[in-house]
Amino acid sequence: MFERLRSRVRRVRRVSPQASQGYFLKIRMYNMRLGDCFLLTFASATRPDFHLLIDCGMHQRLGDKADRLKRVVEDIRDTTNGRIDLLVITHEHYDHISGFSAEFPQVRKIWDEEITIDKVWMAWTEGNDDPAPALRRERKAKTERLRAILKATNTTDALELLDFGGNEDLTDDESLAATMDYLKSIARTGTQFHFPGKAPLTIPGLDGIRFYVLGPPATADLLDQEPNAGEAYEEGTPLSLAQTFFTAALPETSDEFALNDYPFATKHRIDLYTTEYRYHESDEVSERMSVEETEEHRKARWFFHERYNAQAERWRQIDNDWLEAAIGLVLEEVEITNNTSLALAIEFIADQPITDPVILFPGDAQAGNWRSWRNHNWTIRGSNGQKDEVSAAALLERTIFYKVGHHGSHNATRSRDGLDSMGNLMVAMIPVEQKFALKQGKKGWKMPFGPLYKVLLKKTGGRVIRADQGWLDHDGKHILFSSTAVADFRKQQQAFTDVEFKAHLEALFAKDDKAEWNTFLNKYGIRTDDDIEWEPRHVLRFRDEVAQFMGAGAERFLQEISLSKTEWERFRGMVQRVPDSSDPLYYEFALSL
């Protein structure tokens, strides 16, 4: 029903001659519980709908993956008529690309046979130019070793984290690397790997829209480290700590086992272990250990036996404490991969460049990635030939829609030079199911992070759409906490949808007056043109539709958003939850630009 109403709206827009570069943008967030899948549809009067898909995946630890992914991909197929113009893969994490994995053959079949993908964009870190392949290899090796250590020490909650990169039950074909290879070959016209800071990307036929690549940054920034002036990192240095750590943790990797890895000369060593252990060491080491133990060594052994190994002293032993660093390395690994996210800012060019709205998809970029954005400046040639400087800060300032990174966790949304700068933010979407996140680990994952969620609600005036809750309900049941901003917004909205909208409609139905209709349509963002003759049959049909949805309690799933910020008054948006149940397939936010 809503769809019909929507097509009506679009039809009205399409015939409008002034809005040549005007778009009707629909941002659809599929409900992957914990995972990203965004379908953007750019509808305009001048060309067929352009479909942009950003990621498709669910978190590995979720139960209903195959079924849900199938439903989602089928819906993508139906919505796009089997043609996706552009697929953006942000980074290699299971919750972003598992929808393409060979693990789900039925889903893969739909991709292979029923959907064509025109173009694929990925970050430079997935490309074949140096140093990307080396970085990927290094990361893979690191993950494998970490997994081995964590399994050996039975650190389950850290192991769970590694599942962002797919767990070990996956076969080679199902692995994320294989999925990435598949994705690189899927596009009809090939895959492009993008560097940040280059001239903004445009797509032929998609006039008036620019894609700015903000991240991922250069190597050193992948990890959250602040490089200093005059300091040169050697390639791969951030991993050097990991290297020594691994050398010690996994002695069987004897090829890297060198005496240099020990802090002191051999003569100071008194080996901890029994002879049995020695045979497993490399020749060099066993030779070293066969040196006869001196009197001092025996004394020292006795000392440690008494002071360290004695029953009463066991509680102070530190045999495994140094392995705690593994947890740090796991976090580092998750962070590095998140920081390889292709962060995109999509700009819609309007008449005045100052008010060009931007929608922001940063993937799961974490602090290092965000921080690198400020280095970029773009020179834009405007329609009348003049040059404009665009900085990342300016793009953030003009952001009206924000896909919240990494399911709303603290570190994937930077406040300074980030969310703080988004003065015009209207809508934010968080692909998260809090209930599931809280069940992970020993203490639960903090997704979304409470204080961040609060700030988002405040900034958007309550327009935060979450996969598990969608829009705030009128009864306020889904509101986690009540801040005054949210309360005000609810009051405002309730008045608007319930009373004003209804009353207005009823008045219209009674009068059937063209002028009245025009004011109504203008007010609620449905632009009309004076050329259109409003015939009674139009009105009747529209009235039927509206009456139908009003009668069905439709205000619960269709909510007109009033965007009160002065500069942006010309935008109107709607949010839809389909189907209107507690577990909808998707949420759609529609915006006329």
Of 67, 324, 498, 506, the one binding other proteins by CB under 8 A:
324
Of 171, 228, 274, 582, the one binding other proteins by CB under 8 A:
228
Torsion of CA 137, 366, 418, 441, to 10 degrees: 160
Residue with tokens 């007109």: 560
Verify binding: residue 214, other proteins, rule CB under 8 A.
no
Shortest Å distance, C-beta 92 to other proteins = 18
Q: How far apart are the first and last CA of the chain?
A: 23
Of 3, 129, 169, 234, the one binding other proteins by CB under 8 A:
234
- Rounded Cα–Cα distance for residues 515 and 534 (Å): 10
Torsion of CA 221, 226, 232, 235, to 10 degrees: -30
Q: Which run of H or E residues covers position 578?
A: strand 572-578
Residue with tokens 């767990």: 167
Of 411, 421, 424, 576, the one binding other proteins by CB under 8 A:
411
Structure tokens at 363: 């993937």
| Residues 148-167, interacting with other proteins (CB under 8 A) | 157-158, 161
Shortest Å distance, C-beta 173 to other proteins = 29
CB 472 within 8 A of CB 456: no
Q: Which residues is 41 bridged to in the sheet?
A: 26, 51
Of 129, 231, 292, 530, the one binding other proteins by CB under 8 A:
231
Closer residue to other proteins (CB): 308 or 496:
308
Structure tokens at 167: 């767990």
Shortest Å distance, C-beta 281 to other proteins = 9
Shortest Å distance, C-beta 373 to other proteins = 15
* Residues in contact with 408: Cβ distance below 8 Å, sequence separation at least 6, in sequence order: 430, 432, 447, 448, 449, 452, 453, 466
Closer residue to other proteins (CB): 44 or 247:
247
| Residues 343-402, interacting with other proteins (CB under 8 A) | 366-367
Shortest Å distance, C-beta 134 to other proteins = 18
Helix, coil or strand: residue 348: strand
| Residues 266-305, interacting with other proteins (CB under 8 A) | 268-273, 296-297, 299-300, 303-304
Of 3, 169, 319, 389, the one binding other proteins by CB under 8 A:
319
Closer residue to other proteins (CB): 157 or 580:
157
Helix, coil or strand: residue 379: strand
| Residues 32-71, interacting with other proteins (CB under 8 A) | none
Structure tokens at 581: 């149940």
Shortest Å distance, C-beta 311 to other proteins = 14
Looking at 71-79, 167-175, 261-269, 497-505, which segment touches other proteins (CB under 8 A)?
261-269
Verify binding: residue 414, other proteins, rule CB under 8 A.
yes
Q: Which amino acid is at 514?
A: K
- Rounded Cα–Cα distance for residues 93 and 89 (Å): 10
| Residues 431-460, interacting with other proteins (CB under 8 A) | 440-447, 449-451
Closer residue to other proteins (CB): 106 or 317:
317
Shortest Å distance, C-beta 269 to other proteins = 4
* Residues in contact with 341: Cβ distance below 8 Å, sequence separation at least 6, in sequence order: 90, 91, 123, 215, 216, 362, 363, 364, 365, 369, 405
Closer residue to other proteins (CB): 226 or 475:
226
* Number of residues this chain uses to bind other proteins (CB under 8 A): 71
Shortest Å distance, C-beta 591 to other proteins = 30
Looking at 2-10, 18-26, 406-414, 470-478, which segment touches other proteins (CB under 8 A)?
406-414
Looking at 15-23, 115-123, 407-415, 498-506, which segment touches other proteins (CB under 8 A)?
407-415
- Rounded Cα–Cα distance for residues 257 and 163 (Å): 29
Structure tokens at 340: 């390889």
Of 331, 354, 495, 540, the one binding other proteins by CB under 8 A:
331
Residue 561 phi/psi, 5° resolution? Answer: -105, 130
Closer residue to other proteins (CB): 182 or 308:
308
In sign, the C-alpha dihedral spanning 280, 284, 285, 291 is positive
In sign, the C-alpha dihedral spanning 330, 335, 340, 344 is positive
Structure tokens at 408: 């709303």
| Residues 238-257, interacting with other proteins (CB under 8 A) | 240-241, 244-245, 248-249, 251
| Residues 93-152, interacting with other proteins (CB under 8 A) | none
Closer residue to other proteins (CB): 231 or 533:
231
Tell me the CB-side half-sphere exposure of residue 592, using CA atoms within 13 A: 25
Closer residue to other proteins (CB): 48 or 328:
328
Looking at 54-62, 67-75, 124-132, 262-270, which segment touches other proteins (CB under 8 A)?
262-270
